[in-house]
Amino acid sequence: AILFRMQSGITQEFCQQIPKVELHAHLNGSLSNKTIKKLLDRRRDLKISTAAFEKGEQRTMGDCFEMFKVIHSLVDSTEVIYEVTKDVIEEFSADGVKYLELRSTPKGLVESGMDKRRYMDAVVGAIRDYKHDNDDVIDVKFLPSIDRGRSIKDAQENLKLAEEYSISCEDIVTGIDFSGNPYTTDAAKFMPVLQGAQRVGLKSAVHLSEVKDRSDETRMFLSVPPDRIGHGTFLTDEEDVKSSVLESRIPIEVCVSSNIASNTSPPEHIKHHSVWWMGQEHPCVVCTDDKGVFSTGLSSEYFIIANALSLSEEQTLKLSESAIDFIFADENMKAKLKQIWKESKKDEVLEITFVTCLSCLDMKN
């Protein structure tokens, strides 16, 4: 049987149909327009200005962080967190995602009685309930985030919670994320937190070199080292950094639309830094970052990469399969996912055989 269509150019539909793994998705940045509109309609009392949302391509990194503020003012209770977590899982699942790692910064809000622990419970609860109510169609993990824009005390609290939940909810909390506004310059203070995470066996995904001229910081964080690198946009600026990452084989989470929208990558997809890393056969995982804020989806990101690199269907499916090796989960989960990819290749054979048979009939008539 013919395995894959030989046509050049991957379609959006193909990228939607193949099974995918999403490893870099911030919960509140992933809220769809539909979810945000629902929340805005409910909270007219807040008189929220949506100016930052309307800037489109003129947006800067600063505007993106303004958008997070607006979203955070809407997602202000455990009920809402529970609800939006389910919405986001549903949307990724509808886009063909079979395994999802959601990251989010636990927050407390005195007004609504929400504390960080309740925040964690709401996310974990939504993940459990979604899986239970939807026949196990998607596996979801939760990586509590450490926001570099907040205090060290805040970071230490989040690390403690991550550690605690990695014991009480070991099937869901498996690591941490280090993120936040990359223009803050005092990130060195978080080194003990990243080292602490490693000491207690938590995996870590660290935003690294997302903006220019952060080489010292990057060298410092690479010394821990992280288990995955978020963005890594400017890693190639310094020879020593570039070669140490190449040698380390630490996978890079690639978020093309996010980088272009926040003006850290040129608008031409082919000029994205991931093209260079993939050319070196360095492990790269295609991700969305903030599918809501950047109006994208995982299949759109695959569509962009596949076309920039002129990948065939077979190569695109292989790329999505390669992400399985870098998930923060155990070998059983990896085996389960590999089986899903294997089955999807069978479907592909069947579909193509069927289409071929139809065209034979056509010719006979």
Ligand X SMILES: CNc1ncnc2c1ncn2[C@@H]1O[C@H](COP(=O)(O)O)[C@@H](O)[C@H]1O
Site residues, Zn ion (CB under 5 A) = 289
**79 in catalytic set:** no
Among 104, 209, 233, 265, binds ligand X (CB under 6 A): 104
The one segment of 8-16, 175-183, 215-223, 308-316 that binds ligand X by CB under 6 A: 175-183
Pick one of Zn ion, ligand X, none as the site partner of residue 291 (Cβ within 5 to 8 A by kind): none
Residue in 87, 137, 145, 92 with CA at minimum distance from that of residue 120: 145
Choose between 91 and 177: whose C-beta lies nearer to Zn ion.
177
Query: Which residue, 26 or 116, has its beta carbon nearer to ligand X?
Result: 26
User: Could you say whether residue 258 binds ligand X (CB under 6 A)?
Assistant: yes
Burial 35-71 (b: 16+ CB within 10 A, else e): bbebbbeeeeeeebeeebbeeeeebebebbbbbbebb
Q: Which is nearer to ligand X, 10 or 235 (CB)?
A: 235
Provide the residue type at 28 as one letter.
N
# residues near ligand X by CB under 6 A: 19
**218/88 Cα distance (integer angstroms):** 31
In 3-state terms, what secondary structure has residue 55?
helix
Q: Give the binding range for ligand X (CB under 6 A) out of 21-29, 161-169, 233-241, 345-353.
A: 21-29
- Residue 112's φ and ψ, nearest 5 degrees, are -100, 5
Residue choice 262, 299, 300, 307 for contact with ligand X (CB under 6 A): 262
x/- map, 200-219, ligand X, by CB under 6 A: -------x--x---------
According to the binding rule CB under 6 A, does residue 39 interact with ligand X?
no
**The 228-231 sheet, strands edge to edge:** 20-26, 97-104, 139-147, 175-179, 203-208, 228-231, 252-254, 284-286
Q: How many residues does the chain have?
A: 365
Q: How far apart are the first and last CA of the chain?
A: 23
Distance separating alpha carbons of residues 128 and 165, to the nearest angstrom:
14
Stretch that binds ligand X, among 25-33, 272-280, 320-328, 352-360 (CB under 6 A): 25-33
Q: Which residues are catalytic?
A: 210
Site of interaction with ligand X (CB under 6 A): 26-29, 64, 68, 104-105, 145, 147, 179-180, 182, 207, 210, 258, 262, 289-290
